[in-house]
Structure 1
Amino acid sequence: MGSQDLPFEIKDLVCDYCWNTVFSVESFRTLWTSRAISTKKRLVSFTTRPWAEIQESANKCHFCRLLRQDLLQEVKNSISLSADEAFLVYLGFRRHAERLVLDVEAPDVTLIQQTYIVCATEDDVSAGYIAMREVIPPKDTDMCFSHLLKSIENCTHHDKCREVTLTMLPTRVLDCSNPAQVRLVISDPSAREFYVTLSYVWGEDQPYRTTIENINAYSTLIEQRFIPKTVQDAIIVTHKLGLRYLWVDSFCIMQDSDSDKAQEIANIRTYFSQSFITIVAVGTERVSDGFLHDQPKWSRDPITLPFRCPNGPIGSMRLYKDEVPPFNATEVRAWCLEERILSPRCLLFCSHAVQYECPTTHTNINDSSMWLGARFPLLPVVQATTSDSDLDPSESYKNSWNRLLMDYTMCKLTKSKDKLVAFAGIAEFFHGLWPDSRYVAGLWTHHFPEALLWSTKGVTPTRYRAPSWSWAAVNGIIGSSVIIQDEFPDPPHRVLCDIRQCEISLKWEGDPYGEVTSGLLVIETSIMPAIWEWDSEEEFTALIRMNEGEEDKKPPYAFEDYLGIYYADTAEFLETRCRVILAALLEAEGAVYGLVLVPTHANFEVDRDKEVYRRIGLFNVDAVLRWKPTSTRTLHIV
């Protein structure tokens, strides 16, 4: 095919210079047929037009514009080049042709590289050679629902995914049968229906949320002006799915009734786990934003360039910068994490795309892998085992719990008191896996004493939330112990303490996974008194043996006085040098691990003649020979 036979719109995408160099028959054939998986191999090189000509040509030529805005301007800013100087550019298709890599070199300049995702539209002749498709944006609802119904149909055949079944409705739901006339419905306990749940970030006050005063009026009609845009969009989605009922916390819970809130919040985990699908407004930061529209905070326009198909025809390819999608609001909110991972399937309205997620798959709604991002953590799949099976899933469940806990504690909470409440649904799920264990303020008793050795570098909250031995007592990311990396040795390890008692007081007796008002842990173990000292040379906090009568002990210390390392739970515990008690819990791999305690006033019912302590961190003594306890004591830790 000669250039005179080309479709005008494709030939017109680039200037004559680029058409006769990069997009010439010979150059493009070399570029395509020699595509490499290696990220280092260079395929085609060419010399650009002089800088002044590129500046002028970029107004019409898409490739000159790409070079100027993404590569050459950066070079021009870093060195002094005259207007008539050109650049040497290397091109290469990588990773099975889904990426186009451009390298640029100039005198005395470090190599600058830019990578693009290469897409084709379904109706373009290039689609037979370019597998990547563009994502479907949130505003394209008709295309979205067409693909969504296919995804749900496919989901019914997944081994890991739950069967779609009718279920009891939440206490209250929004009737979306007419999106222009929405009302609040008090559910019939005997009815079984499909319903949708909404997971979103409030981000601001909702003045028209349901209250004791307006609940009767809302049962007749909720005026459109009272419904925030995100909720309006969720109503539209529910209706387009062919479903009638939607659960939204602000309208389905009486927000000024403590008793109703306590009851309904305890049921939230059930509502999400039994819903037909959860709409996740991933890309919205405020309830007034809405999500069925372009979201300019991360809009990306493609650059369209010619594509010479190997069999002759000329089509086009669409290039996007290979970038990581933004971290969206719901991904860092504690409530949203629980809601999303408890849901059997989710429809995610991100800032850049619509995605579908279930226990089996996480994909853009049209199966494109473009800008997919990382998926949320999953609840473990409960595997059926026969009596003669040697598969023990307990370690897998334990690892899943630890990973979920770490992800959860990365998230933010508007109300600090919800630290345990917003994780309650996940805890309840795991109680089904561990029915013989007790759940106490975020910990499982069958994991003791290892579970007590959580680690963090957090901040103490302003109000009481949990006993000091619980991770919920501090704000910070909870990971596996800093002293026992990843997992405890299995075997050998030796428990050095006896758990005598572990009790908590619940704010609501009917909710064992919710708020606690106090807690007491009683252990019998060997102890050592010590002080801590920052070692500026080694840059860690050292524990120094404190013998009887050595309360004023100061550096320099003898070598035998060094015990091990202190890992403070929060920075405030390092502000004042003080005497501490080391309580041994576990011996593993030739070291002793335990809690660092200080005396405190009890906030649990403890006899007045008992010594009461609180946790301020962890310790390890890295050689068992250094552990020379002064006594064995029964310690009350609150």
Structure 2
Amino acid sequence: MTRLEDEAQAVSSDNCLSSHAPCIPSVSPEIRRLVCEPCWRTVFSADSFHTAWVAQFVSTSPESAGFSYTTPAWEEMQHSIDLMCEWCDLVCEEIEFYYHHKTKTKEAPPADSTFQLRVRFRQESGNIADGSIITLQLVVENSWPPVYLIHTAADDQAARFIHHREVLLHVDSTLGYDLIKKCVGDCLRHERCPPPLRTLLPTRVIDCANPELPCLFVNQGIEDNYVALSYAWGEKQPHCTTTINLDSYIAGIPLQNIPKTIMDAIKVTQKLGLRFLWVDALCILQDSDDDKAQEIAQMRRIFRDAYVTIIAACAHKVSNGFLHRRSTWHPTASTLPFRCPDGGIGTMQLRGGQYAPKEPVNERAWCLEERVLSPRRVIYASHTLQYECQTTHINVNGAPNFIEPFDGIPRLPDRIFLPTPAIPNSDLPADEDVAKAWRDILNLYTQRTLTKPRDRLVALSGIVEQFHRFWSHTTYIAGLWEHQLPGCLLWYQSSGSQCCTRPDRYRAPSWSWASTDGEVTMTSCSNQGVLCTIIQCDVIVAREMNPYGEVTAGSLVLDTILQPAVWDPVEGELFDAAGVPTDPLEWPELTRSDSERGEIGYVVRDAIETVSERIGKVRLALVSNTGNALLGLVLIPVTSQTSSAEQNDCPSFRRVGWFTAPFCDKSAWLSSSYQHIKII
């Protein structure tokens, strides 16, 4: 029998909760004052509460389970709120929300109105240590019920039946460090999680054996466990390791040179019983481009092999630190009586299922790579301390509140963490779960910011290398995967009116999302319905040691159908442009009145630039036929073509947008001749 089934059996035989109960448990004045007399006689009476509690064990018609009653009049409940009735306060908030939605007004319910409520406890699945949580649902007039998460104090009578606690606020405590160790120990038993292994240390690490005098340790082939730190710089760090101070830092790093976030990480490393810590600012020579490139190329291994990664999620800048005591999260929980199945009376705290607060670290592009590459993450969030691995994402003390962040971080598929020989070597395009993980990560990554925009490809290179271990049969080309071409060319900017200007400095060919700033959506990498063929695709990487990083040039040759069109970038509309001169150099600029030949679709521009600010003629390269619309790339001619391109009669273009054409003459377009074009 499960724990909850045991409780259900105990409840069913409990005389104290039956209608013939001979015993009446004593109630402390503090608990009794939590609710008004009408609430105490209804919802919080022994029989009523029992009916609501056992609803969690009902498997048939669960929507009708629980305790149902009619509220007092609205005016009476408002008076009870003035007398500090926690239940009336909670109920009225939900009734008001229901009433506003029903009446489409912002007025309060009439003073004499009453409402039908149903109260029930439910079991909910979640990323909690024991696999599920108990929640309370409050159904107003058969509407969709809000869900409240429940916890109680460890020394409360209700703690025997409510196993979840308030989130841990004192993160820098013996309890906090013990809970981290327990989470890592539990992780060792997770089938989905790779075990931590003693592995080759990174090139340099901080030796934390003496936290009063930490020093740089230069590895000479030693294997050991180490901790990695992921954090937001947020400001300049004047005392980074350089070629000038390297030798002195090996002897010892002055404490006054170490920012608070890094000092806190040194403390956590030592408290966990570990000696070595990797931090980019101190373990990479910040004045050496060669050393930076070499260490960035090792980023996947550094975070993948870390015993744990500390994520200083709450710190806006490196001088903030992350071990401060957390404040109680608002809104505060509602404290209510809890009728224990054994007849005792304790208290429970109810909170709505709010998401965790957004964290500063989640705005930084580099930090996404560091998080998803790490098999075990200790997250110092704004409100508590959390642990995350391939299996679970929990508050370290098992509290149910604020677990999943609003912008949930996608996990890499489990198989990507397998040892290389165990990863399947397939000629198939990709398993869908891996392809979806790539799209999700790309979308989330492009929402984040970079201090140096030229790092658009570099800051993702560690994740790319990890994916390449699974997609070993293919080639990564400036942000796209060869086996997903040409379908993956159909990315588009998803930030709408917040579209960014075209970067001044070259970062990638125009057909790559990395050539733009802002959030990118890649809805599918499928090649179903494709209308074009890749003839050639080449890029030149800036550094051979990092084939997944920065590129200096690239080109793509397509065999496709090219159609002329008129684009109004202000409205995003696309119009037919039959009769456009074949020579791009002869395209005259159009006026708005010239585009009155019928709308055929719309365009999402890649960036704010001259061509995307006024109406004009463009070329459409067809990529895919969905059945409902033709999709493809919006191109403009590049006048300075290479001599080889001219000799091969292969005109050059630059991508400026993505289009869909559901209203075009599809049969006429698809019967047009194919030609080779070059996109740079």
Q: TM-score range by the shorter chain?
A: 0.7 to 0.9
Q: Which residue of 1 aligns with 2:304?
A: 273
Q: Which residue of 1 aligns with 2:411?
A: 378
Measure how far apart 1:133 and its partner are.
Answer: 3.4
Query: What is the CA deviation profile of residues 247-295 of structure 1, one whole-angstrom value per residue up to 9, with x for unaligned ones?
Result: 1111112222222222222222221111111011122222222222234
Q: Which amino acid aligns with 2:483?
A: H
Instruction: Name the TM-score, length of structure 1 as normaliser.
Output: 0.84
1:57 aligns to 2:99 (yes or no): no
Q: Which residue of 1 aligns with 2:214?
A: 182
Matches of 2:227 and 2:642 in 1, distance apart? Answer: 42
Q: In structure 2, which of residues 634, 644, 654 is the aligned counterpart of residue 614 of structure 1?
A: 654
| Conserved? CA contact 2:372–2:412, under 8 Å | yes
Measure how far apart 1:526 and its partner are.
Answer: 3.4
Query: What is the CA deviation profile of residues 54-108 of structure 1, one whole-angstrom value per residue up to 9, with x for unaligned ones?
Result: 46533xx6557767999889999965899x9898694623433933355789xxx
Q: In structure 1, which of residues 463, 482, 503 is the aligned counterpart of residue 505 of structure 2?
A: 463
What SS does the corresponding residue of 1:287 show, helix, strand or coil? coil
- Relative distance call for 1:38 and 1:331 in structure 2 (3 A) is farther
What SS does the corresponding residue of 2:552 show, helix, strand or coil? strand
1:568 aligns to 2:605 (yes or no): yes
- Relative distance call for 1:63 and 1:433 in structure 2 (3 A) is closer
Q: In structure 1, which of residues 16, 25, 42 is the aligned counterpart of residue 46 of structure 2?
A: 25
Matches of 1:25 and 1:281 in 2, distance apart? Answer: 46
Matches of 2:209 and 2:325 in 1, distance apart? Answer: 26
Q: Which residue of 2 aligns with 1:108?
A: none
Measure how far apart 1:318 and its partner are.
Answer: 1.7
What SS does the corresponding residue of 1:284 show, helix, strand or coil? coil
Measure how far apart 1:443 and its partner are.
Answer: 1.2
Between stretches 143-152 and 288-297, larger displacement belongs to 288-297
Q: Which residue of 2 aligns with 1:100?
A: 136
Matches of 1:194 and 1:425 in 2, distance apart? Answer: 20
Measure how far apart 1:43 and its partner are.
Answer: 2.4
- Relative distance call for 1:558 and 1:104 in structure 2 (3 A) is closer
Q: In structure 2, which of residues 657, 665, 669 is the aligned counterpart of residue 627 of structure 1?
A: 669
Q: Which residue of 1 aligns with 2:636?
A: 598
1:532 aligns to 2:577 (yes or no): no
Measure how far apart 1:242 and its partner are.
Answer: 0.6
Between stretches 604-613 and 236-245, larger displacement belongs to 604-613
Query: What is the CA deviation profile of residues 486-526 of structure 1, one whole-angstrom value per residue up to 9, with x for unaligned ones?
Result: 46364xx35433423x2222222321111112222233433
1:541 aligns to 2:574 (yes or no): yes
Q: Which amino acid aligns with 2:136?
A: L
Matches of 2:658 and 2:298 in 1, distance apart? Answer: 36
Matches of 1:226 and 1:300 in 2, distance apart? Answer: 39
Between stretches 25-34 and 304-313, larger displacement belongs to 25-34
Q: In structure 2, which of residues 355, 363, 387 is the aligned counterpart of residue 332 of structure 1?
A: 363
| Conserved? CA contact 1:566–1:619, under 8 Å | yes
Matches of 2:431 and 2:341 in 1, distance apart? Answer: 54
Q: How many residue pairs end up in the alignment?
A: 619
Between stretches 546-555 and 127-136, larger displacement belongs to 546-555
1:205 aligns to 2:232 (yes or no): no
Between stretches 602-611 and 248-257, larger displacement belongs to 602-611
Matches of 1:297 and 1:244 in 2, distance apart? Answer: 33
Q: In structure 1, which of residues 151, 164, 167 is the aligned counterpart of residue 199 of structure 2?
A: 167
Matches of 1:634 and 1:596 in 2, distance apart? Answer: 16
Query: What is the CA deviation profile of residues 335-394 of structure 1, one whole-angstrom value per residue up to 9, with x for unaligned ones?
Result: 11111111121111212232222222222223444321155212223385899x999854
Between stretches 177-186 and 602-611, larger displacement belongs to 602-611
Q: Which amino acid aligns with 2:545?
A: G
Matches of 2:98 and 2:566 in 1, distance apart? Answer: 55
Matches of 1:432 and 1:75 in 2, distance apart? Answer: 55
| Conserved? CA contact 1:529–1:582, under 8 Å | yes
Measure how far apart 1:620 and its partner are.
Answer: 4.1
Measure how far apart 1:164 and its partner are.
Answer: 2.0
Matches of 1:311 and 1:628 in 2, distance apart? Answer: 75
Mapping for residues 49-88 of structure 1, pairs under 5 Å: 50=76, 54=80, 57-58=83-84
Matches of 2:216 and 2:112 in 1, distance apart? Answer: 69
Matches of 2:522 and 2:90 in 1, distance apart? Answer: 46
What SS does the corresponding residue of 2:466 show, helix, strand or coil? helix
Mapping for residues 299-318 of structure 1, pairs under 5 Å: 301-318=332-349
- Relative distance call for 1:117 and 1:392 in structure 2 (3 A) is same
Matches of 2:642 and 2:328 in 1, distance apart? Answer: 49
Q: Which residue of 2 aligns with 1:348?
A: 379
Q: Which residue of 2 aligns with 1:234?
A: 265
Unaligned runs of 5+ in 2: 1-15, 17-22, 124-132
1:416 aligns to 2:453 (yes or no): yes
Query: What is the CA deviation profile of residues 290-319 of structure 1, one whole-angstrom value per residue up to 9, with x for unaligned ones?
Result: 222234494554333221123311111122
Unaligned runs of 5+ in 1: 106-110
Q: In structure 2, which of residues 155, 158, 169 is the aligned counterpart of residue 137 of structure 1?
A: 169
Q: Which residue of 2 aligns with 1:514?
A: 549
Matches of 1:315 and 1:519 in 2, distance apart? Answer: 68
Matches of 1:605 and 1:414 in 2, distance apart? Answer: 38
Q: Which amino acid aligns with 2:435?
A: K
| Conserved? CA contact 2:565–2:574, under 8 Å | no
- Relative distance call for 1:265 and 1:100 in structure 2 (3 A) is same
| Conserved? CA contact 1:138–1:350, under 8 Å | no
| Conserved? CA contact 2:612–2:656, under 8 Å | no
Measure how far apart 1:220 and its partner are.
Answer: 2.5
Q: In structure 2, which of residues 619, 634, 651 is the aligned counterpart of residue 581 of structure 1?
A: 619
Between stretches 245-254 and 582-591, larger displacement belongs to 582-591
Measure how far apart 1:197 and its partner are.
Answer: 0.2
Matches of 2:308 and 2:643 in 1, distance apart? Answer: 45
Q: Which residue of 1 aligns with 2:515?
A: 473
Matches of 2:548 and 2:390 in 1, distance apart? Answer: 24
- Relative distance call for 1:27 and 1:437 in structure 2 (3 A) is closer
Matches of 2:430 and 2:676 in 1, distance apart? Answer: 34
Between stretches 436-445 and 550-559, larger displacement belongs to 550-559
What SS does the corresponding residue of 1:219 show, helix, strand or coil? helix
Q: Which residue of 2 aligns with 1:282?
A: 313
Q: Which amino acid aligns with 1:348?
A: I
Q: Which amino acid aligns with 2:437?
A: S
Instruction: Name the TM-score, length of structure 2 as normaliser.
Output: 0.79
Matches of 1:69 and 1:621 in 2, distance apart? Answer: 48
Cα RMSD between the aligned structures?
4.0
| Conserved? CA contact 2:622–2:630, under 8 Å | yes
- Relative distance call for 1:208 and 1:71 in structure 2 (3 A) is farther
What SS does the corresponding residue of 1:627 show, helix, strand or coil? helix
Matches of 2:87 and 2:560 in 1, distance apart? Answer: 72
Matches of 1:512 and 1:208 in 2, distance apart? Answer: 31
| Conserved? CA contact 2:576–2:595, under 8 Å | no
| Conserved? CA contact 1:452–1:470, under 8 Å | yes
Q: Which amino acid aligns with 2:655?
A: R
